[in-house]
């Protein structure tokens, strides 16, 4: 089973903000949605754009390249041209520390 990786503190990621962190060699887009934290693979499933640089619309992220939309909470595709969901990584918050685990190969 993969390990939890410290990726920052809750103080450093305010509500509505996102940042890219590295988890075991994978770029992960970390989001704070009103105090709830979500971690998605930072690669659009349509054509590989960095999803974290897209526009946040509530709990939706819009890809900066061709405007596919994904749920930040579930990774589900909400608008084409993407058809495959984004992977959502488990997030753990403990004493203000944000930890993410790459569970794709568990």
Q: Which residues of this chain interact with ligand FES, rule CB under 6 A?
A: 44, 46-47, 49, 63, 65-66, 68, 81-82
SS (H, E, C) the chain: CCCEEEEEEHHHCCCCCEEEEEECCEEEEEEEECCEEEEEECCCCCCCCCHHHCEEECCEEECCCCCCEEECCCCCEEECCCCCCCCEECEEEECCEEEEECCCCC
**Nearest residue (CB) to ligand FES, 7 versus 86:** 86
**Nearest residue (CB) to ligand FES, 5 versus 20:** 20
To the nearest whole angstrom, how small is the minimum distance from the Cβ of residue 100 to ligand FES? 22
To the nearest whole angstrom, how small is the minimum distance from the Cβ of residue 74 to ligand FES? 17
Q: Closest by alpha carbon to 63, among 52, 74, 76, 78? A: 52
**Nearest residue (CB) to ligand FES, 50 versus 59:** 50
To the nearest whole angstrom, how small is the minimum distance from the Cβ of residue 57 to ligand FES? 14
To the nearest whole angstrom, how small is the minimum distance from the Cβ of residue 28 to ligand FES? 17
């Amino acid at each position: 089973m993969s390990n939890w990786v410290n990726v920052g503190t809750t103080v450093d990621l305010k509500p509505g903000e996102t940042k890219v962190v590295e988890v075991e060699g994978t770029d992960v887009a970390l989001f704070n949605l009103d105090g709830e934290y979500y971690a998605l693979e930072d690669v659009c499933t349509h054509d590989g754009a960095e999803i974290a640089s897209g526009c946040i619309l509530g709990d939706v992220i819009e890809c900066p390249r061709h405007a596919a939309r994904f749920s930040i909470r579930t990774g589900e595709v909400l608008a084409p041209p993407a058809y495959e969901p984004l992977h959502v990584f488990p997030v753990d918050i403990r004493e203000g520390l944000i930890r993410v685990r790459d569970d794709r190969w568990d």
